[in-house]
Structure 1
């Protein structure tokens, strides 16, 4: 697995690289946001560790541009920042980050989070390759999601890696109510250390991409006092 470390403090970048390479990961380090974007375009890493405060383009802008660009691989993004306020976490996640770690952090915790994110893609190995409901088809091998609001014109959805996993989880059990804790366990595993409300952020992003009217969702419904469920007809 290839990991890009985007961190302008050399000592921190070197420490992260040391711990990850000891775990067998291949790492590349850059110290500027614009350089990171060039690297992502040409090398397509599996995961990006992205500092929020960078010279030139900051981490939020880098994250947003990565999520907006077309590409064969949609990397997981773990955002780093010295800021711990809730609003910063929400803004970071809303731009497309998959997880969030506040400095100072334990290198062991960072490694655990990296492994948890990368395990999500490995879990698909050996599973059925297609998931279908009346209005959606997921190709788990090619990582392609399509919406079929009309039979004649399927629409390919531009989902992040986490959004794809979230939709796949919902489609596996149409009608099942999921709590935030259950979704976290399903998507992140036991190594998740963040706030449960990260689920709400990613649900909102998913709704914007799959719902005809995100303000009045037809597919991903809120279950008061529980969490969320997906309503569509299995085929």
Structure 2
């Protein structure tokens, strides 16, 4: 990983924040560490990081609320976010992914595990060399246009939907394998890495988020269909257009 990868660490525990920030810097990252949402907003107004490490429990505005704001803002919605929490609860993990987290790590953790998670997220959201080969810049998926450079979907009515890093990685896999059933395990390994903390609903949540942007009616999906007991298939017609 390049030493220029710039992270923002948001955690209100001063000693934890100091020690973790120092460790990440020793591992080659550029790190700015802040205690709350207001300080994060100040940094984001100046420049966007490559990734945000965001604690769940913060004073004032908590982590999930911050994450919702980031995903609702066109300027920050594609910034990868790894959430930290001291609560080892599957509901929290599901909820964090549902509202747009790219990954989730429970305290306490080994610093090298955090490093591995960060690198995995950055590989799939920033480095073209680690994504499936997408020689065409644009694809047509049914009536929707997928721009792999801008990382957007353009709907039939002209609405442009930006994709988060996770959504982009997932859709990139689907367009390379149209009409092919991709198992949940394959999708997890391909988009999150072998070291990911796998739990049953993680990929289902990711597909649901992608369907919400791609499908005209996400409740009756026609583009990305479920295959019971196996995984998902991109059933819509796919063609490269540039």
Structure 2 distance, partners of 1:123, 1:27, is 20
The residue that corresponds to 1:79 in the other structure is 83
Question: 1:138 Cα shift?
Answer: 2.7
Question: Taking structure 1 as the reference length, what is the TM-score of the superposition?
Answer: 0.91
**What is the aligned residue count?**
231
The residue that corresponds to 2:192 in the other structure is 188
Partner SS, residue 191 of structure 1:
coil
Please tell me whether residue 144 in structure 1 is matched to residue 152 in structure 2. Answer: yes
Structure 1 distance, partners of 2:111, 2:26, is 12
Contact 1:180 1:199 in 2 (8 A): yes
Contact 1:131 1:171 in 2 (8 A): no
Give the direction of change, closer, same or farther, for the CA distance of 1:194–1:12 in structure 2 (3 Å limit): farther
The residue that corresponds to 2:137 in the other structure is 130
Give the direction of change, closer, same or farther, for the CA distance of 1:62–1:19 in structure 2 (3 Å limit): same
Residue by residue, what CA displacement relative to the aligned partner does 1:3-35 show, whole Å, maximum 9, x if unpaired? 000011122212221222122111101101222
Contact 2:7 2:31 in 1 (8 A): yes
Runs of 4+ in 1 over 6 A off after TM superposition: none
Give the direction of change, closer, same or farther, for the CA distance of 1:145–1:124 in structure 2 (3 Å limit): farther
Residue by residue, what CA displacement relative to the aligned partner does 1:33-77 show, whole Å, maximum 9, x if unpaired? 222133223311110000000001000000000000011772111
User: RMSD of the TM alignment (CA)?
Assistant: 1.8
Structure 2 distance, partners of 1:136, 1:201, is 21
Please tell me whether residue 116 in structure 1 is matched to residue 120 in structure 2. Answer: yes
Which structure 1 segments of 5+ residues have no match? none
The residue that corresponds to 1:50 in the other structure is 54
Which structure 2 segments of 5+ residues have no match? none
